[in-house]
A and B are shown apart, each in its own frame.
Chain A
Amino acid sequence: MTNPDTTQEILTTADGVPLKVSLKRALRRKKRNSLLLVAPLFLFILLTFLLPITDMLLRSVDNKIVPDLLPRTAPLLAGWDETGQELPGEDIYHAMVEDINEGAATKTILRLGRRLNFERAGMSSVFRKTARKVKGLQQPDSYQAEMLKIDQHWGDINIWRLIKRESGAFTKSHFLSAIDRQTNDDGTIGPKPEYKQIYIKLFGRTLALSLLITVLTILLGYPISYLLATLPTKTSNLLIILVLLPFWTSLLVRTSAWIALLQKEGVINDLLVAVGLIANDHRLAMIHNQIGTVVAMTHILLPFMVLPLFSVMKTIPPSYMRAARSLGATRFTAFVRIYVPNSIPGIGAGAILVFIMAIGYYITPELVGGTSGTFISNMIAYHIQGSLNWGLGAALGTLLLLLVLALYILYDKIVGIDNLKLG
């Protein structure tokens, strides 16, 4: 008997191509087609999302402006010993005069002043003043003496230390600032003075309040979703509209509505006074503080909890509960041991949605948070729009992103990300 394996010919398709090759080709074509189908989306995400974000994140360490605008001074400073008590030599002062002169001609030198002003208040003025007057210097005996005459700050060794420290193409100062630290004049890294520390505190508060808001949305959203999922479709559809209704109202309107409700002379306080629960001069402070932020944001984010919960609960067959009951479980036991575990994917999806949205909120905390209810995003917004210190804004944003990623990984470890369902 011959072995069928050895005698069998290679299988071919009708046109004589080996089946294996033909199959491979078909698969490759399919793969290419599907890649082509995804390509527009991929390109879109790359161009409008990944590239801008990377660009913004890189700004947190970018410091090219200093070496670019001090092409002569920066290399010379590398050879100056900043740990001593000696001011830089005449050659460095000369280089600085030439750099400032050139920067004044191209009208770029004041940008350098603004960059260094983020590190040390007053540098803007030093550069503005010097740029105005330095033009007249024609081969003086001592550049150092002339610069000191223009602005005595040039005799302050700490300013030269600062310029030397920041003369590289990259800086760590923004990240240090973002965690309330600074480089001291002697070159060591230490905490900022106590009266300037703010960012760590805000990071902590943002996390704590976002967590609280997430828990509150679960507590409030769970019963609503349960009700929606168990009611007949006709009624539940109507109620779903009520849940969605706030989505169709502007965020600012919803926030302002909470101001009208919660403020001292607001509806709730008026009611409480009218019923006699509180005295007129002891009205409750429920807004312009943490309570305001938590209440308003819980309300605004509630739909993001209800919708995934509802769609997951819809898929839990009622027969599960009936089976549990018939096997002797009480209503409560059946609910806790059968229903809740089945709804966990919904809780997980809702919690992640709400938490990540909460952590980046800023307009609502700004309006109702007072001083104790503002978030880290409020500081990011200030540095992007107000102070124009995009470096620090980017550093804070990067830290926030890393924080969210870390929490996401933690979540994956504890709950498991495949345990997540949006419906």
Chain B
Amino acid sequence: MNKVMKLMLIAMVMIAFSAGITLAKTELVIVSWGGAYTASQQKAYHDPYMKLHPDIQIINDDSAGSGAAKLRAQVEAGNVTWDLLDALASDAIALCDEGLIEEIDHDKMLAAAPDGTPASKDFGDLIASPCFIPEIVYSIAFAYRKDKFDTPPTTLADVFDLKKFPGKRALEKKPVANLEWALIADGVDPAKVYDVLGTPEGIDRAFKKLGTIKDSVIWWSKGAQPPQLLADGEVTIASAYNGRHFNAIVAEKQPIEMLWDWQHLDLDGWVVPKGAPHKKEIMEYLKFATDTQRLADQAKFISYGPARISSAPLVGKHAEFGIDMKPHMPTAPENMKHVILKDHVWWGDHEVELTERFNAWLTK
């Protein structure tokens, strides 16, 4: 009898011990876009943070592509398993409106710039929603096949000029960016694009201009498609997230060249789900991961611009290819001559309606 008791005691101690091991590490589930993007966050944020805090284990989840829908399902079911979600500014606004993510006090919760500038000033206008912590500035920009043209295209109007610059185009299967581009290419004052787009005539005009190249467009829906279409020679000019173009040009050495004219700037950043299981720990993490140096570090691994003003001068060389990353940033002065800043509030109102119309227009 004594022997059995002893065995049971040992077993119980062992169970308690193994439970103790798993308890020692807090697991934070961070949801992002996967691929090169998550890798850049791993190297710039997660790895250094876990080194500083050995009790934290960061788990990557690559489902940010359907993050808004999945988060909504989790919150509605009352079973939130995510601690942090990487989201586009437009999704952050929608999720914040729906009350699915936490509001952030940027100055209180985030680190100030090295010179003491409070976070809210350092991020400036990029705080698109009270729930949003900006991380990077990215753009949807054009790139073209160098070897297919004798004189390279230099302006947005050239993208719409099929005669001078023959070949197919690849555009995103969304109204966002395409409608703005169509209007600017049609001669609308770039400063008034959203005013014009707010009128029924303006929308008609944008669709009409897009219609001039519609038969020569391959519409993409996944970020990996356009660089592939360019590399295969299926299209001669393609819009894509600038980081994807960068990868094709620098890492894969494809004969592709950027065409930054009227790049469409957008934001990506962090949002904290309501009911996140480790809120205290994740806020600790965010304070670290969104400070000036960390944001600048991410640009070593991927060509997206850090969202803090104070990070810009710290952007250095690419960790693997050793090239200076500054000219590859969408926020570099020479790339910023002509830019469209996405009007998130305007698109928040009109995206559903225009997507419906856009899809109907596509099937015609």
A interface list, Cβ under 8 A from B: 107-108, 110-111, 113-114, 117-118, 121-125, 128, 195-198, 201-202, 260, 263-266, 288, 366-367, 370-372, 374, 379, 382, 384-390
Residue from B98, B225, B362 whose CB has the most chain A CB atoms within 10 Å: B98
Identify B355's interface contact among A123, A371, A384, A387, CB under 8 A: A387
B99 at the interface (CB under 8 A from A): yes
Q: Mark B95-118 against chain A: 1 for CB-CB distance below 8 A, else 0.
A: 011110001000000000000000
Once the chains bind, are A110 and B99 in contact (CB under 8 Å)? yes
A389 to B356, CA, bound (A): 12
B interface list, Cβ under 8 A from A: 65-66, 68-69, 72, 94, 96-99, 103, 168, 218-219, 221-222, 225, 232-234, 345, 348-357, 359-363
Once the chains bind, are A107 and B99 in contact (CB under 8 Å)? yes
Closest A residue, CB atoms, query B66: A385
Once the chains bind, are A372 and B349 in contact (CB under 8 Å)? no
Complex interface: chain A residues within 8 A of B68 (CB): 385, 388
Interchain Cβ contacts within 8 Å, total number:
89
Complex interface: chain B residues within 8 A of A128 (CB): 97, 345
14 more contacts with CB within 8 A, not counting A122-B349, A265-B232, A388-B68, are A107-B99, A110-B97, A111-B97, A117-B349, A121-B350, A125-B349, A196-B356, A196-B360, A264-B233, A266-B232, A370-B219, A382-B355, A382-B359, A385-B66
Complex interface: chain B residues within 8 A of A201 (CB): 363
Once the chains bind, are A113 and B363 in contact (CB under 8 Å)? no
Residue from A107, A110, A125, A198 whose CB has the most chain B CB atoms within 10 Å: A198
Once the chains bind, are A125 and B221 in contact (CB under 8 Å)? no
What are 5 A-B contacts defined by CB distance under 8 Å?
Answer: A111-B99, A124-B97, A195-B360, A263-B232, A388-B94
Complex interface: chain B residues within 8 A of A118 (CB): 352
Once the chains bind, are B97 and A384 in contact (CB under 8 Å)? no
A326 to B268, CA, bound (A): 76
Complex interface: chain B residues within 8 A of A388 (CB): 68-69, 72, 94, 98
Q: Which 8 A-B pairs have the closest CB atoms?
A: A110-B97, A121-B353, A198-B360, A371-B362, A265-B233, A385-B69, A385-B66, A122-B349
A388 to B218, CA, bound (A): 26
Complex interface: chain A residues within 8 A of B350 (CB): 121-122
Interface secondary structure of B, over-half rule: helix
Identify B363's interface contact among A110, A117, A371, A386, CB under 8 A: A371
Chain B nearest CB: distance from A183 CB in Å?
Answer: 16
- Given the known interface contacts A372-B363, A384-B69, the answer about A111 and B98 at a Cβ–Cβ threshold of 8 Å is yes
A195 to B232, CA, bound (A): 34
Complex interface: chain B residues within 8 A of A288 (CB): 218-219
A33 to B111, CA, bound (A): 65
A366 to B125, CA, bound (A): 35
Complex interface: chain A residues within 8 A of B69 (CB): 384-385, 388
Complex interface: chain A residues within 8 A of B225 (CB): 367
A389 to B359, CA, bound (A): 16
- Given the known interface contacts A118-B352, A196-B357, A198-B360, the answer about A113 and B97 at a Cβ–Cβ threshold of 8 Å is yes
- Given the known interface contacts A111-B99, A370-B218, the answer about A389 and B352 at a Cβ–Cβ threshold of 8 Å is yes
Once the chains bind, are A114 and B349 in contact (CB under 8 Å)? no
Closest B residue, CB atoms, query A371: B362
Closest B residue, CB atoms, query A125: B349
A111 to B100, CA, bound (A): 10
A196 to B358, CA, bound (A): 8
Complex interface: chain B residues within 8 A of A384 (CB): 69
- Given the known interface contacts A111-B97, A265-B232, the answer about A371 and B222 at a Cβ–Cβ threshold of 8 Å is no
Chain A nearest CB: distance from B198 CB in Å?
Answer: 9
A195 to B94, CA, bound (A): 26
A124 to B348, CA, bound (A): 7
Residue from A125, A202, A387 whose CB has the most chain B CB atoms within 10 Å: A387
Chain B nearest CB: distance from A195 CB in Å?
Answer: 6
Complex interface: chain A residues within 8 A of B363 (CB): 198, 201-202, 371-372, 374
Chain B nearest CB: distance from A395 CB in Å?
Answer: 14
A382 to B355, CA, bound (A): 10
Complex interface: chain B residues within 8 A of A371 (CB): 219, 362-363
A371 to B353, CA, bound (A): 19
Once the chains bind, are A114 and B360 in contact (CB under 8 Å)? no
Residue from B65, B97, B219, B234 whose CB has the most chain A CB atoms within 10 Å: B97
- Given the known interface contacts A198-B363, A202-B363, A388-B72, the answer about A366 and B221 at a Cβ–Cβ threshold of 8 Å is yes
Complex interface: chain B residues within 8 A of A108 (CB): 99
Complex interface: chain B residues within 8 A of A379 (CB): 359
Once the chains bind, are A263 and B222 in contact (CB under 8 Å)? no
Identify A264's interface contact among B66, B103, B234, B354, CB under 8 A: B234
Residue from B69, B72, B96 whose CB has the most chain A CB atoms within 10 Å: B69
Once the chains bind, are A125 and B234 in contact (CB under 8 Å)? no
